[in-house]
Amino acid sequence: MDSCDIGVIGLAVMGQNLALNIERNGYRVAVYNRTAERTRQFLAEHGQDKQLVGCETLAELAANLKRPRRVLMMVKAGNAVDQVIAELLPYLEPGDILIDGGNSFFKDTERRAQEVEAKGLLYLGMGISGGEEGALKGPSLMPSGHRHAYQALEGLLQAIAAKVQGEPCVTYLGHGGGGHYVKMVHNGIEYADMQLIAETYDLLQRGLGLKAEQISQTFATWGQGVLNSYLIEITAHILKALDPLSGAPLVEKILDVAEQKGTGKWTSEEALELGVPIPTLQAAVEARALSAQRTLRLEAARQLDGELLGEASSPAPAVADLEQALYAAKICSYAQGMALLAQASQTYGYGFDLSEVARIWRGGCIIRARLLEDIRRAYGENPTLPNLVLAPFFRQALVNAQSAWRKTVCFGVSKGIPLPALSAALAYFDSLRSARLPANLIQAQRDYFGAHTYRRIDEEGVFHTEWQSME
């Protein structure tokens, strides 16, 4: 009894792998799952010679933990977390630490932290990225909440996290829901990254006529350069895989309907709430929604001549142009995610250090990429950078890439290949670099129909015009 360093609740794929990761790093772990059979199976498969203690009740779990107790919840996000907290609290005492490592919505984490801390316990919300492999071998960890709780767990978290150049991919991300906020934005960027890669695949395949194997090779080559990242690496791998049934590339047999669990949508909603433009991330969420309207698309393809337009009116880009376009759009999508984090840090007082956020995303997580080292450096050199695109390194990269990027988007548009994220990123870039936008006309229209007033460029004050009485 009371010999375990930490308890893990929830033994689906993430909970199991995190428990194994923690145990491998020298900690004794008590494990519990609502359906006890899963606990038994887990111990039967993995329990031999390991410091794992199976518990069939929450009372047993609590009794097996050293004080103050440390309990990591790895259950389905949403009501399940509230249920587990309610069932577990009677067995915990003031000073015990409760950690939610699921994909909880940050506002739920804020609420739960207040409720749990009102009872004298300490609460941590912790975003975890890296999927099942990351959980086992070393994820990126995004914890926030009570600072003492973080300090008490820092050694364990550093031990289990991914390491890049010896540095663990974990950092303290402020109070309350800060960690889950960062994880939410991470997922928004992940949506954008995936969509940008998918559009580039479409351009290579339908636009330039490359075969899956050639595209795989292209991505593999790009993965050695500025685009080096986990998502590019797995894309090269995916495109090589053959369908055992037909011998054709397996990817071509997969239904073109992208699913989503909601973290991308949360990022979009939150950006709208805070008034931060993240058009590339939004485009990625909407592209998934559009892909899901398959029946409508099939009908529209029939009625609207779904074939590609023949001879493109814009010249075909070279494969190297597509690499530059993807890189530039990727920079813009990270710039948007970082801008959202900067605003959230101010609005909610999280005190995010964006250089640290980029640092802990360099390893373990799904969006790990070489680019994050450059982002870390950019915010390290200038923590108050107004936007990533203005960091000298990225400013130069975008200027270098822009002609290839424009050529790529023009080609896609002229062929009728949808490029929602690549073009939204370009429009973001062009909007940022436009000293004057046509918003003057929007202000005039608002004043015309709603007397909403406007400001002038040459005089202080607020103005209204009786537009109908003007010639």
Contacts with ligand NBP by CB under 6 A lie at 10-15, 33-35, 38, 74-77, 80, 83-84, 102-103, 128-129, 131-132
Q: Which is nearer to ligand NBP, 138 or 279 (CB)?
A: 138
User: Tokens 């200027």 identify what position?
Assistant: 399
Tell me, what DSSP letter sits at residue 308? P
**How near is the Cβ of 136 to ligand NBP at its closest, in Å?**
11
Q: Which is nearer to ligand NBP, 64 or 423 (CB)?
A: 64
**Euclidean distance between CA atoms 222 and 406, whole angstroms:** 19
In the complex, residue closest to ligand NBP by CB: 102
As given in the structure block, the two tokens for residue 204 are 């290579």
Q: Which is nearer to ligand NBP, 53 or 283 (CB)?
A: 53
Q: Which amino acid is at 189?
A: I
Which of these is catalytic: 107, 119, 167, 190? 190
**Euclidean distance between CA atoms 379 and 400, whole angstroms:** 21
Asked if 428 and 280 count as a contact pair (C-beta separation under 8 A), the reply is yes
Asked if 129 and 102 count as a contact pair (C-beta separation under 8 A), the reply is no
Phi, psi dihedrals of residue 125, rounded to the nearest 5°: -100, 135
As given in the structure block, the two tokens for residue 153 are 């767990």
**How near is the Cβ of 275 to ligand NBP at its closest, in Å?**
28
Q: Which is nearer to ligand NBP, 15 or 143 (CB)?
A: 15
Cα–chain-centroid distance for residue 68?
A: 33
As given in the structure block, the two tokens for residue 53 are 């203690």
Asked if 315 and 282 count as a contact pair (C-beta separation under 8 A), the reply is no
Told to judge if 183 belongs to the known catalytic residues of this protein, a careful annotator would answer: yes
**How near is the Cβ of 130 to ligand NBP at its closest, in Å?**
7
**How near is the Cβ of 115 to ligand NBP at its closest, in Å?**
17
In order, the DSSP letters of 332-363 are HHHHHHHHHHHHHHHHHT----HHHHHHHTSS
Coil, strand, or helix at residue 70?
strand
Q: Which is nearer to ligand NBP, 83 or 400 (CB)?
A: 83
Q: Which is nearer to ligand NBP, 58 or 335 (CB)?
A: 58
Peptide bond into 438 cis (omega under 30): no
**How near is the Cβ of 11 to ligand NBP at its closest, in Å?**
5
Q: Which is nearer to ligand NBP, 131 or 277 (CB)?
A: 131
Cα–chain-centroid distance for residue 215?
A: 25
**Interacting residues of 283 by C-beta distance below 8 A, sequence separation 6+:** 192, 195, 420, 421, 424
CA-to-CA separations, 314 to 310, 392, 402, in angstroms, rounded: 11, 31, 16
**Euclidean distance between CA atoms 253 and 97, whole angstroms:** 47
Which of these is catalytic: 183, 265, 330, 407? 183
**Euclidean distance between CA atoms 423 and 408, whole angstroms:** 9
Q: Which is nearer to ligand NBP, 180 or 406 (CB)?
A: 180
Measured at the CA of 430, the angle between CA 429 and CA 436, to 5 degrees, comes to 130
**How near is the Cβ of 31 to ligand NBP at its closest, in Å?**
10
Q: Which is nearer to ligand NBP, 10 or 420 (CB)?
A: 10
**How near is the Cβ of 20 to ligand NBP at its closest, in Å?**
13
**How near is the Cβ of 58 to ligand NBP at its closest, in Å?**
9
Asked if 92 and 120 count as a contact pair (C-beta separation under 8 A), the reply is no
**Euclidean distance between CA atoms 145 and 99, whole angstroms:** 9
Asked if 271 and 184 count as a contact pair (C-beta separation under 8 A), the reply is no
Q: Which residues are catalytic?
A: 183, 190
